[in-house]
Amino acid sequence: MAVVAVAGCTAIDDPAAPQASDAKPSASRSAGVPGGEAADTGTLPGVPTAGQARAELAELKVAPHDSMSGYSRDKFSHWAEQGENCNTRETVLERDGADVTRDDECRAVSGRWVSVYDGKMFTDASDLDIDHMVPLANGWRSGANTWTQEERKAFANDLTHPQLLAVSAASNRSKGDQGPDEWKPPSQAYWCTYARAWVSVKSDYELSVTEAEKDALTDMLGTCPS
């Protein structure tokens, strides 16, 4: 498995409501809505081109899902500390938002976020979840069941590859642990970026794909501009 130098996370835990009187402004971010390869991929890091994604997809191991036996989200650790009182969740919220203000405990108390999965805008961070592009349970079924705890922690908190993004809680919970053959973002404009990111994460972590998953990713990459 590829080694990634990041801390550890997993759960969809909304922070407690912070006190606005303690708020401090953070750097302003641009929360764009990606729409195809030529469009801005927003703040999601490490998204390959469609051509690169197709090449990576062709090299992925194709295999049925492994068993869920032994799986637990706790085996992937939960939101890790990222310094300055911040954890992975708050780091992604600040990265993916615009005009984000945080309190002394690093909790986002104001800002603007666009959920790229469904195109909805939010001004309350508690309405957002941090989605794992490749869900933890999907990762477990496609190879992470053989990893060490530290490797799973890195996967769950990866801020370097396109694995974590702030989206509406409704869209994230609709997705659950489903692959692209079972669930796709409601916004078809995001399918190109979604497929490129999904393939990239699977490739970087040397995870397998099912036949149905590969077919769906191929179709979604077909929506990218030629």
- In total, the chain counts a number of residues equal to 226
Predicted local distance difference test score (pLDDT) of residue 95: 95
In terms of DSSP bridges, do strands 98-102 and 164-168 run parallel, antiparallel, or are they unpaired? unpaired
pLDDT in tens, 31-41: 333 344 444 56
DSSP label at residue 52:
H
Summarize pLDDT for 98-127 with one digit per residue, the tens. Answer: 999 999 889 999 999 999 999 999 999 999
For 195, what's the count of Cα atoms within 13 Å in the CB-facing half-sphere? 31
Which pLDDT value is given to residue 1? 52
Backbone angles phi, psi at 94, to 5 degrees: -70, -40
* pLDDT digit string, tens, across residues 122-159: 999 999 999 999 999 999 999 999 999 999 999 999 99
**Global pTM value:** 0.82
Does residue 110 contact residue 100 with C-beta atoms inside 8 Å? yes
In sequence order, which residues have a C-beta less than 8 Å from that of residue 178 and are 6 or more positions away? 135, 138
Report whether pLDDT(26) > 50. Answer: no
Closest CA to 29 of 122, 94, 89, 90: 94
Composition of the chain by helix, strand, coil, percent to 5: 35, 15, 50
Q: Could you tell me how far CA 165 lies from the centroid of its own chain?
A: 4
Query: 14 pLDDT exceeds 50?
Result: no
- For residues 176 and 13, the model is more confident at 176
**For residue 46, is it left (φ>0), alpha (ψ between -120 and 50) or beta?**
left
Q: Give all strands (DSSP E) within the chain, no chain letters.
A: 24-25, 81-83, 86-87, 98-102, 108-115, 120-122, 128-132, 164-168
